[in-house]
Chain A
């Protein structure tokens, strides 16, 4: 086109189009931030898996999320070590507890992760510096998440009680927060001592999970499948790490109904976005309807006029998306600085961007309908 009517009108009458750009921008912001929050929060359901190294997770058959684990037979470890594909097996003990920082104060429900304290341990290898991990060798020492210190009422070096037994906080790490509750790290020995088994019950040596490192990480799906052929005999099930992580996230997303809530909220955002954006675009088209009608009288086809309106909608979408992305980036940085769990991948981000462009194009299609009134006979009175 030799005269860029859509773009020139958009720039010249930016005040008229600005509400539409803002509506698109806000829709984009809401979608992106909501997605990042959801992925951040529900992603933390899998923090145990995602912050650890290891290729396979071994747990109670049918376990749907990490915190729902149950003790598995003691001989599981032997079966695993006998497998030629396995390079290392590490134990993981899950203990639920009550945390009291001072006597007389209310208890905080916590979960204690009993892990190997060695510097090269697999569990939480991505979250714990080796030196901090070594401190867990000291009996009855624990590591908490930096962001939980206030809630737990302690500072690093302070003491508290878990299930009535005194522990000392020897470190505060980042990004240990899990969805189920406060996550506390201890050595396997400490964790075992923190268990409340009931009076007169013999000590239980069983573990909740084993984390397995393979000689060939690429073989993980095949090894898991092989181990799972004998679930009933072994009394455990094997998952690849990514599979187990996914399981935890989708359990929280969909079994709790939160996932549907998110989808519903996204739908609401899109509908509101389309309503506001289309109203503004329709008003803009209506404001130029005499000019469009004149072009139509001069022989410019309705199809060409529609293209002008759709092009405007596309520019509005692109502008809104840009503002929305910038706003979201700011919001996410802020959230990150305040330990609010946020995470956004490329694919979810692209889906959000696609939804934003869909919002503006749907609005453009609504505005196109106003062109029906671009009838030159209306100019003649």
Chain B
């Protein structure tokens, strides 16, 4: 199946946006020694294109585990993940790598930038592996850095950037690949309030402008107001699924 040929979904109605990721009956438990901790037991959910979905909940409730499963980083014990119509965990390891390379971006709590590279090089690096030539990669990288507001910082190494700027470089690195799926795990937790606000705004804008599915996972309640949809998670279960505009309608 040709994954790249999936047409970008045209989303008119945000309340019922096209499904980008579908997780079905996901189970995951961790074994350390003889002790086995079950984190997810039969969780199902859908993530839509063109919107920022926030998974919110207390620390240790299984948010990061869920993101790993949906992002193709960690294999579920049971259940399925369909991303862009592809059954992720039916793919061979190299095909899964290829799928991630072509369709997904990740942003982590630690920015994980290479100390030796300038902001521009950080963003260009994955593009090289996509097979882009140097000129195209440079244009795309500059575009992505400009989108996160770092046009004047492209020559700087991480040591010369603030935490918020580093996280924006990390977002640009994920964005420059032009993924349909963007995953962010606690992207604001290492940042001060203003920088965190800026980062979540950028993620929100990316979801709308590029019509991609942004799945953000955080225990930070300040992000709730910036999301299109909030999944309230606790102890491995989704307790509530709210759309922000529905809420506003209700309160109006």
Contact = CB atoms under 8 A, between A and B. Distances in A.
A299 B102 contact: yes
Interface string B108-134: 111011111100010011111100111
A216 interface: no
Contact of A297 (B100, B110, B121, B128): B100
Q: What is the interface residue range for chain A against chain B?
A: 20 to 34
Contacts of A230: none
B145 to A, nearest CB: 14
Interface of A: 1-3, 5, 8-9, 11-13, 288, 290-291, 293-302, 304, 375-377, 379-381
Contacts of A13: 115-116
B1 to A, nearest CB: 17
Given A2-B124, A298-B126, A377 B99 contact: no
Nearest to A305: B129
Nearest to A299: B101
Nearest to A304: B129
Contacts of B228: none
Contact of B117 (A8, A296, A299): A8
A292 B104 CA distance: 16
A377 B108 CA distance: 11
27 contacts: A2-B127, A2-B137, A3-B117, A3-B128, A8-B116, A8-B121, A9-B115, A11-B116, A12-B116, A12-B157, A290-B110, A291-B112, A291-B113, A291-B114, A294-B106, A297-B106, A297-B108, A298-B104, A298-B105, A298-B126, A299-B99, A300-B129, A301-B129, A376-B106, A377-B73, A379-B112, A379-B185
Interface residues of B, number: 42
B114 A5 contact: yes
B68 A298 contact: no
Given A5-B117, A8-B121, A377-B74, A293 B112 contact: yes
A3 B125 contact: yes
A380 B109 CA distance: 8
Interface string B171-197: 001100100000001000000000000
Main secondary structure of the interface of A (DSSP, over half): helix
A380 B117 CA distance: 23
Interface string B52-94: 0000000000001101100101100000000000000000001
B64 to A, nearest CB: 4
B73 A376 contact: yes
A380 B73 contact: yes
A369 B207 CA distance: 38
B73 to A, nearest CB: 5
Sort A-B residue pairs by CB-CB distance and give the 10 closest, nearest first.
A299-B101, A12-B116, A299-B100, A380-B64, A294-B112, A2-B128, A8-B116, A9-B116, A377-B74, A2-B134
B115 A299 contact: no
Interface string B145-181: 0000000000001000000000000000110010000
Contacts of B102: 299
Contacts of A298: 100-101, 104-106, 126, 173-174, 177
B41 interface: no
Contacts of B132: 2
A11 B136 CA distance: 26
Contacts of B134: 2
B101 to A, nearest CB: 3
B116 A297 contact: no
A296 B112 CA distance: 12
B198 interface: no
B114 A9 contact: yes
B97 interface: yes
B106 to A, nearest CB: 5
Contacts of B115: 9, 12-13
A9 B137 CA distance: 20
A12 B124 CA distance: 18
B14 interface: no
B112 A3 contact: no
B205 interface: no
> Which of B99, B112, B127 is the most central at the interface, judged by chain A CB atoms within 10 Å of its CB?
B112
Contacts of A297: 71, 73, 100, 106, 108
Nearest to A6: B116
A300 B114 contact: no
A9 B99 CA distance: 27
Given A3-B117, A298-B100, A380-B185, 11 more contacts: A2-B137, A5-B116, A8-B117, A9-B114, A9-B116, A11-B116, A12-B116, A298-B106, A300-B101, A380-B74, A380-B108
